[in-house]
């Protein structure tokens, strides 16, 4: 199963602050999927170095993965 990603997605919080996220998901989901939210104060683009596996690996296993920078 392959994966696709959306990078640099701005998510506006209730207080108006916009946080940036990258979203990874399987190409052809067959069913509702679980979501894994990873938030980091460092840099979401470094998520492949700070997690057990790269977000694309989790997406290929059937998860939607959201990696989001914090404030």
* Helix (H) / strand (E) containing 23: strand 18-26
Query: What are 28-50's pLDDT values in tens digits?
Result: 777 889 999 988 887 777 766 66
Q: What is the pLDDT of residue 51?
A: 65
Q: pLDDT category, 15, cuts 50, 70, 90?
A: very high
User: What average pLDDT does the segment 39-68 reach?
Assistant: 82
Q: Decide: 24 and 69 in contact? Cβ < 8 Å.
A: no
Question: From the centroid of its chain, how far is CA 55?
Answer: 7
The pLDDT-based confidence of 53 (bands split at 50, 70, 90) is confident
Q: Distance between alpha carbon 41 and the CA centroid of its chain, in Å?
A: 14
Of 30, 10, 28, 21, the C-alpha closest to 55 is: 21
* pLDDT score of 1: 59
Whole-structure pTM value: 0.80
């Amino acid at each position: 199963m392959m994966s696709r990603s959306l990078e640099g997605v701005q998510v506006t919080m209730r207080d108006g602050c916009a946080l940036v996220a990258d979203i990874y998901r399987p190409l052809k989901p067959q069913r509702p999927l679980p979501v894994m939210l990873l938030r980091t104060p460092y840099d979401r683009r470094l998520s492949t170095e700070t997690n057990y596996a790269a977000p694309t690996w989790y997406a290929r296993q059937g998860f939607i993965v959201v990696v989001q920078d914090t404030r």
